[in-house]
């Protein structure tokens, strides 16, 4: 199995960390959707990261769908609770974390890919407001009940929150609320970044390193 995409993508990093926590072995190919577009397109003509190549050659896309398949390969460990109310809360947290991720990515594209004279300030302001709203909602939700940061208990919600925070703090810090308004979120994300699986797949342009159990 192969995971295609760079770890500076929060979606690629999310998939890599989750699959390692599921105990799955895979090869990571750090291809850029920009710099290595042609090479990437030979694997997946859509050129979407993450891309996942199954053992039989089937190509999957989208981190959530990739992880749904990965979960089927590792029935001994569940990344989502099986039923309410824990399942509903996990999905609420994941949705907010992915919303924050998406808005941060949109801001990065607007600021880094468009020429300065083509950037649309009202759009960036709107995206920034949505990003802050998602983070503040997430902080409020996390304050209601503790979320496990333990290696053997962390689920997809915790993985997604940790990866999201590392991305937004590095890539769009100017759009974030004051840190004192996100104390629970920041403390949690800081803790999970110390887990072996997070350290084995750091944000950036490197390769996923094997993570022993």
Query: Domains, the chain, ranges and CATH?
Result: 2-77 (3.40.30.10), 86-195 (1.20.1050.10)
How many residues comprise the chain? 213
CA-based nearest residue to 167, from 31, 55, 9: 9
Residue 212, pLDDT score: 58
**pTM, to two decimals:** 0.95
What is the pLDDT averaged over residues 44-55? 98
Which tens digit of pLDDT belongs to each residue from 95-142?
A: 999 999 999 999 999 988 777 777 788 989 999 999 999 999 999 999
Half-sphere exposure of 136 (CA within 13 A, CB side): 12
Mean pLDDT across the chain: 95
What is the pLDDT averaged over residues 180-207? 97
166: pLDDT strictly greater than 80: yes
Main-chain phi, psi angles of 24, to 5 degrees: -90, 140
Percent of the chain with pLDDT over 90: 90
Which residues does residue 3 pair with via DSSP β-bridges, in sequence order? 28, 52
20: pLDDT strictly greater than 70: yes
């Amino acid at each position: 199995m192969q995971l295609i995409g760079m770890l500076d993508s929060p979606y690629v990093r999310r998939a890599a960390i989750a699959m390692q926590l599921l105990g799955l072995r895979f090869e990571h190919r750090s291809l850029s959707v920009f710099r290595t577009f042609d090479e990437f397109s030979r694997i997946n003509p859509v050129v979407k990261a993450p891309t996942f190549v199954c053992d039989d050659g089937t190509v999957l896309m989208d981190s959530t769908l990739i992880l749904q398949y990965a979960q089927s390969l590792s029935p001994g460990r569940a990344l989502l609770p099986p039923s309410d109310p824990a399942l509903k809360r996990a999905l609420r947290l994941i949705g907010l974390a992915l919303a924050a991720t998406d808005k941060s990515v949109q801001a990065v594209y607007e600021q880094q890919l468009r020429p300065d004279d083509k950037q649309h300030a009202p759009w960036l302001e709107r995206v920034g407001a949505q990003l802050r709203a998602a983070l503040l909602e997430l902080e409020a939700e996390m304050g209601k009940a503790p979320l496990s940061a333990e290696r053997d208990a962390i689920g997809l919600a915790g993985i997604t929150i940790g990866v999201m925070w590392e991305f937004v703090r590095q890539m769009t810090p100017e759009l974030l609320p004051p840190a004192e308004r996100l104390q629970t979120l920041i403390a949690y994300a800081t803790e999970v970044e110390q887990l072996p699986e997070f350290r084995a797949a750091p944000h950036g342009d490197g390769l996923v390193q094997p993570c022993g159990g």
